[in-house]
Structure 1
């Protein structure tokens, strides 16, 4: 069994942040990092896990299954149905003690978690604030294919800070529910929030100077998926890069950071790492997320790298598993890029054409992984990292 095979067997499993399996995977990664690092910090943080069971709405004696929103509060109640489909309707809707059906423009995309530190647009804040101030008994969202993952339907809310119990169901069921507007129905959302703790690992490989290069890849998964591509593959590449660099002296000190909590609403792991970095100089960041999907190359997008772009393009042109792509904004690199730090983000080429439809689903299993491609991408990114380090 190869070293990479051992990593795959230990890491590629459902590992939602704070769960027992997540903490086992953190422990395994820590053990591996200690073999090739000068120092491995384990930064604790509070988080939340979530349990769900069968949930339903009763319409005139017909019990229809619905899906509890991740981290929703649970509820069993009856209430009159009302509906909203636009922000304008939401602003004037009297929904106190009602069960609110949400569809149309309001369910085009997921609503950001309350006070999410890296992205919380004003419209999403207004939507959250209105719902919580109007005090409905529950929310039921009608959704379809998500634009940012493979879920169909997708949860409109995924937020342990949102106080209204919520669930979701496929949008094709909407006409049936609209026929029951202003009628009282029974709803049961079986969902439970559980306080937990976890750790954020930071492995340090000391260089000739203290200036940092941060190499990161989120290691947690959503519930109900093994997260092989999202982002087990990135975690495997990160580990193999650290192993391939063993014994190589670099100019910069390099941190290898398997972010824990990227797939949840609070970003606890990244926040405790950013706190650790506040008095340090970060020269470059390399974030690896969903690489190595099937036979596609891994695409490099560049932020604040104008002084290095020619050098990077020259290196990438010699690596058969790498290519340069358009900027990609949905990842752990963005807090660094928004500070003006030179940043590279790695994602599989043409991710939105096929790869996205596996993510966050049971289809994202280890059968999607190709060990040879992972090894080649790891070696290629080491070559790129060393070129940046020496530039």
Structure 2
């Protein structure tokens, strides 16, 4: 699920287990030097507690029907620019936030923190915020790894019924937007499993090559098409402004 090579066998904060991985091509270059010999291996690693913050920007309606959440995770893996995953999503979210005109729903703009790491504190903080405020989420739009050069903007829905035509109408009226298939490895998952209507926006080639650039040094700005970001933001505005 990423371009990181070699990939970690264990990446879980539940376990304080040092992990090192050696690429098979690298091993092939040293195999004759270590075959049938005693090898001493040291893994220099540590776990540290850090402090981070979860930002929530809210636009309140006078008589809200509910709350629409537009989100994109703002964190990235180490040793990567994170241009596709997920600076592209954050920029799309901010573009959309500037142009939304709807005044019948509360609008929450949420750049989720810690999506890429163990223990999704950003989600938990936001869920606690919703609980304390008594707000119900009517629609959540999650933007994750969008605008890969050469792709289209894919849109997938979860928990919509066959009579919900607003999504189809928005897709057909916005350039560069196509229907996609839902997936659940993201910040929308906890809401989707709870029955909330969710819209997922991502690069149409995410699983056909785009992922090979993510979570590693290859994820740079030259992979991002700004026009696709604007297309995605335009779609979000259209959907939110016409959502009933």
Q: Same fold (TM over 0.5)?
A: yes
Partner residue, 2:22: 169
Cα distance per residue 1:241-274 (max 9 Å; x no partner): 11112xx342110111000111111211111111
Q: Distance in 1 between matches of 2:77 and 2:65?
A: 35
Whose radius of gyration is greater, 1 or 2? Answer: 1
Confirm or deny: 8 A CA contact 2:152 2:178 kept in the other structure. yes
SS across alignment from 2:228? helix
Structure 1 portions without partners, runs of 5+: 1-147
Runs of 4+ in 1 over 6 A off after TM superposition: none
Equivalent of 2:184 in 320, 324, 329: 329
What do you get for the CA RMSD once the two structures are aligned?
Answer: 2.1
SS across alignment from 1:214? strand
Q: Distance in 1 between matches of 2:23 and 2:67?
A: 47
Confirm or deny: 8 A CA contact 1:321 1:380 kept in the other structure. no
Deviates more, 1:212-221 or 1:271-280: 271-280
Structure 2 portions without partners, runs of 5+: none
Partner residue, 2:125: 272
Equivalent of 1:257 in 107, 110, 128: 110
Partner residue, 1:160: 13
Confirm or deny: 8 A CA contact 1:221 1:230 kept in the other structure. yes
Q: Distance in 2 between matches of 1:255 and 1:264?
A: 23
* Mapping 1:274-289, distance limit 5 Å: 274-278=127-131, 279-289=134-144
Deviates more, 1:184-193 or 1:315-324: 184-193
Q: Distance in 1 between matches of 2:160 and 2:99?
A: 25
Equivalent of 2:98 in 222, 228, 243: 243
* Mapping 1:112-151, distance limit 5 Å: 148-151=1-4
* Mapping 1:172-187, distance limit 5 Å: 173=27, 176=31, 180=36, 185-187=39-41
The structure whose RCO (Cα within 8 Å, separation 6+) is larger is 2
Equivalent of 2:153 in 298, 301, 312: 298
Partner residue, 1:193: 47
CA 1:338 to 1:317, structure 2 compared with 1: closer, same or farther past 3 Å?
Answer: same
Q: Distance in 2 between matches of 1:164 and 1:188?
A: 13
Partner residue, 2:242: 387
* Mapping 1:191-230, distance limit 5 Å: 191-207=45-61, 208-209=63-64, 211-230=66-85
Q: Distance in 2 between matches of 1:365 and 1:169?
A: 24
Using the TM superposition, give the Cα deviation of residue 161 of structure 1 relative to its aligned residue in structure 2, in angstroms. Answer: 3.1
SS across alignment from 1:167? coil
Q: Distance in 2 between matches of 1:215 and 1:295?
A: 25
Using the TM superposition, give the Cα deviation of residue 185 of structure 1 relative to its aligned residue in structure 2, in angstroms. Answer: 3.5
Using the TM superposition, give the Cα deviation of residue 350 of structure 1 relative to its aligned residue in structure 2, in angstroms. Answer: 2.1
Q: Distance in 2 between matches of 1:353 and 1:270?
A: 28
Q: Distance in 2 between matches of 1:179 and 1:385?
A: 62
Paired positions, count: 238
Partner residue, 1:64: none
Cα distance per residue 1:27-71 (max 9 Å; x no partner): xxxxxxxxxxxxxxxxxxxxxxxxxxxxxxxxxxxxxxxxxxxxx
SS across alignment from 1:196? coil
Q: Distance in 2 between matches of 1:212 and 1:377?
A: 20
Q: Distance in 1 between matches of 2:163 and 2:240?
A: 12
